[in-house]
Amino acid sequence: MKRIPEKGINRDKLLEMLQHFREKDLQWRSGRVLGYVYHAGSLAEEIGKAAYMEYLTENGLDPTSFPSLLQMENEVVAMSAAHVNGDSETVGSFTSGGTESILMAVKTARDYIRAQKPEITHPEMLMPSTAHAAFHKAAKYFDVEPVLVPVHGDTFKADVEATRRAITKNTILMVGSAPSYAHGVVDPISELAALAQENGILFHTDACVGGFMLPYLKRLGEPIPDFGFEVPGVTSLSMDLHKYGYTPKNASLVLYRDRALRRKQMFACANWAGYSVINGAAQSSKTGGPIAAAWAVLNFLGDEGYLKIASETMGATRKLAEGIGNMGDLELLAEPEMFMFAVKSETVNVFHVIDEMKERGWYIQPQFAFQNSPKNFHISVTMPNVEHTDELLKVLGESVEAARGIQEGESVKAILDAVAAMKPEDINEDNISDMMAMAGVAGDNLPERMADINDIMNSLSIEHRELLLIEFFNDLFTI
């Protein structure tokens, strides 16, 4: 087992070790990574890092001790709230990411309705089946029942009438995405929020991905539907800055229509012997770095800079979508309304296409089949990808041709046969581990090609897929 070194390691050696550690990491500055990291160029990165390091050791726990952080957070929230058509009543909080923002929105809704309608003891949250996994996490954390409503099969947008039929006396919160991550489409927020308002239900717009860029696309003439606080009935909204706001991680916002809602987000404790604790969101102690970096990058790029980024990125997205649509083997699941889309194939295994892209130095993301969405690969277009669109289409075509001749792996056949022979209730942690070992996954040793693993995952039920993921992660972190 690794132990603290007896003698300290010098600076140069430590930096050398860090460079060695990252040799297998995604090379996201290359413009060949279409997910996970959002990069607006070296100057914005430099500004963000400098501001981050300036406030690395400042603690955001107590804004009265670091009023500079309070000022920057208030300014970031104000700029962002205005960006999504908030008014003088709109308030918000800076969080560590979309997941914390969504957690806070769900917790707030639960506590707000608990005070208004104490008779609701089994609260439900109504959301399209395409809503982000963070809502499921929030439901589990805060004991709110998630009720999933199937989406339209041709557009993958929320079904308003199906949502209407799913409302019960226990519904406390409804959700829509702007856009949904998986397919890059914007739900009919105005209709959903009107339905919520009609029934006295809170409504949350998940604009973690699109909240920052959709207003710019609308200004550029794209047919973006209303999704922010200009929509009556929208009571809260989440918006990540560290995605298409291009600020360093971890930076997100949860915004509320008024202070009465935000009050239910906050936590205070004087019921112990130490200092009085008051937290605006989930975290207590936290570095001031992300707040300072977000403030700096927003001011550095400015409205004009972001508008230019939106125009160029949407142009690249349209070009990629058209090029992929013209490939006989590939098909878009839905027309993108922002910078992301999903691609399926009836003739080649998309998971092998992903592996072939990786062999050629590109990263695209697998997505498993779920309800009416078949297995596919996901592309998120960011600024570094813009100049590589022609190369991406060329390499993607080559990867499709290479994937065409690859047969299903023997391990996949064996595992799928084993799963088919088992009763669902007999699948457990032990035989899931055996399946992983058969597929070449053990501890933190990952196979170079992941198609077989992805096909196994895709074949399992949702319950068993989650079981495998937990087992995989539990083994991946070896200590």
Q: Which residue has the tokens 């954390």?
A: 141
Same domain for 256 and 393 = no
Omega cis (within 30) before 250: yes
Assess whether 227 and 167 both reside in one domain.
yes
> Would 17 be classed as within a structural domain?
no
Confirm whether 16 is domain-assigned: no
* Domain membership flag for residue 10: no
Same domain, 429 and 468: yes
Two tokens, residue 417: 């046969």
Q: What is the 3-state secondary structure (H, E, C) of the chain?
A: CCCCCCCCCCHHHHHHHHHHHHHHCCCHHHCCECCCCCCCCHHHHHHHHHHHHHCCCCECCCCCCCHHHHHHHHHHHHHHHHHCCCCCCCEEEEECCHHHHHHHHHHHHHHHHHHHCCCCCCCEEEEECCCCHHHHHHHHHHCCEEEEECECCCCCCECHHHHHHHCCCCEEEEEEECCCCCCCCCCCHHHHHHHHHHCCCEEEEECCCCCCCHHHHHHCCCCCCCCCCCCCCCCEEEEECCCCCCCCCCCEEEEECCHHHHHCCCEEECCCCCCCEEECCCCCCCECHHHHHHHHHHHHHHHHHHHHHHHHHHHHHHHHHHHHHCCCCCEECCCCCCCEEEEECCCCCHHHHHHHHHHCCCECEEECCECCECCEEEEECCHHHHHHHHHHHHHHHHHHHHHHCCCCCHHHHHHHHHHHHCCHHHCCHHHHHHHHHHCCCECCECCCCCHHHHHHHHHCCHHHHHHHHHHHHHHHCCC
Is 5 within a domain?
no
Per-residue model confidence (pLDDT) at position 45: 93
Judgement on whether residues 373 and 237 belong to the same structural domain of the protein: no
Same domain, 182 and 124: yes
**Cα 177 to chain centroid, rounded:** 11
pLDDT at position 441, please? 67
Note whether residue 41 is domain-resident: no
Residue that terminates a domain, selected from 382, 404, 426: 404
Task: Assess whether 247 and 119 both reside in one domain.
Answer: yes
Co-location of 241 and 332 in the same domain: no
Q: Do 380 and 246 share a domain, yes or no?
A: no
Q: Kindly report the CATH number assigned to the domain that includes residue 116.
A: 3.40.640.10
Beta strands in 121-259 (DSSP E): 124-128, 145-149, 171-177, 202-206, 236-240, 252-256
- Residue 26 falls within a domain, yes or no? no
User: Of 381, 404, 427, at which residue does a domain stop?
Assistant: 404
- Tell me which residue range forms the domain holding 358: 303-404
Q: Work out how many domains the chain is built from and give that number.
A: 3
Phi-psi region of 233 (alpha: psi -120 to 50; beta: other; left: phi over 0): left
Asked if residue 252 and residue 386 are part of one domain, the reply reads no
CA distances to 32, 210, 403 from 390, rounded to whole Å, are: 12, 25, 20
Q: Is residue 23 part of a domain?
A: no
User: What distance in Å separates the CA atoms of residue 159 and residue 130, rounded to the nearest whole number?
Assistant: 11
Q: Is residue 8 part of a domain?
A: no
Q: What is the pLDDT of residue 355?
A: 96
- What pLDDT does 27 receive? 84
Residue 384 near residue 30 (C-beta atoms within 8 A): yes
Whether 359 and 444 map to the same domain: the answer is no
Q: Which of 372, 404, 436 is the last residue of a domain?
A: 404
Same domain for 289 and 319, yes or no, is no
Task: Round to the nearest angstrom and report the end-to-end CA distance of the chain.
Answer: 8
Reported residue count of the chain is: 479
pTM as predicted:
0.94
Q: How far apart are CA 120 and CA 139, in angstroms?
A: 15
Please report, in tens digits, the pLDDT of each residue of the chain (479 residues total): 788 998 999 999 999 999 999 888 888 788 888 887 888 888 999 999 999 999 999 999 988 999 999 999 999 999 999 999 999 999 999 999 999 999 999 999 999 999 999 999 999 999 999 999 999 999 999 999 999 999 999 999 999 999 999 999 999 999 999 999 999 999 999 999 999 999 999 999 999 999 999 999 999 999 999 999 999 999 999 999 999 999 999 999 999 999 999 999 999 999 999 998 999 999 999 999 999 999 999 999 999 999 999 999 999 999 999 999 999 999 999 999 999 999 999 999 999 999 999 999 999 999 999 999 999 999 999 999 999 999 999 999 999 999 998 877 666 777 777 766 766 667 777 776 777 676 666 666 677 788 888 888 888 888 888 887 887 778 778 77
Structure confidence at residue 150 (pLDDT): 97
Strands (E), 30-144: 91-95, 124-128
Q: What is the DSSP letter of 214?
A: H
Q: Residue holding tokens 């992660």?
A: 473
Q: Are residues 459 and 327 in the same domain?
A: no
pLDDT at site 410: 66
Looking at residue 107, what is its pLDDT? Answer: 98
Please tell me the distance from the alpha carbon of residue 101 to that of residue 348, in angstroms, as a whole number: 38
